[in-house]
Structure 1
């Protein structure tokens, strides 16, 4: 009987599940260090090629390094067994 009463809520649970999956995927993408590391490598190439000077390099490097620190702190805070979802 309880299962029949729960049927009207099934679409809402499905939407909540999808929204949870989308939020998790967005979170994983936001905390992916790859793009930040690529930006740092590109920045280093620009400096080596003489496209930017040391001052501009440092100005542009600082926010990227802060972002990497934020990502690492997030990853350290979320270490644990995978939940299997």
Structure 2
């Protein structure tokens, strides 16, 4: 059965590899999304933009809310 499975499974190997690659990318993205250091850097960037006058107070609040919701998995 191993040889038959290998013969019939071989054409599907590239598809399985692409699926696994997609899963790995998704896992990495989720890890970065929930990484406290990444979130902190993003929040600091938002604060700097506000201090430099690049964004308004409302935009700052909205962006911070989006970052925190993404981190906690809350509704957007």
Give TM-score scaled by structure 1 length.
0.52
**Displaced runs of 4+ in structure 1, greater than 4 A?**
none
Structure 2, unmatched stretches of 5+, are none
- The answer to which structure has the higher helix fraction is 2
Structure with the larger RCO, 1 or 2 (CA within 8 Å, 6+ apart): 1
Unaligned 5+ segments in structure 1 are 75-85
Render the CA deviation track for 1:25-80: whole Å, top value 9, x for unaligned.
Answer: 3213433232x5422211212333xx217x71431441452243233228xxxxxx
Separation in 2, partners of 1:61, 1:25: 32
Q: Alignment RMSD, CA only?
A: 3.0
Q: How many residues align?
A: 68
What's the TM-score once normalised by structure 2's chain length?
0.55
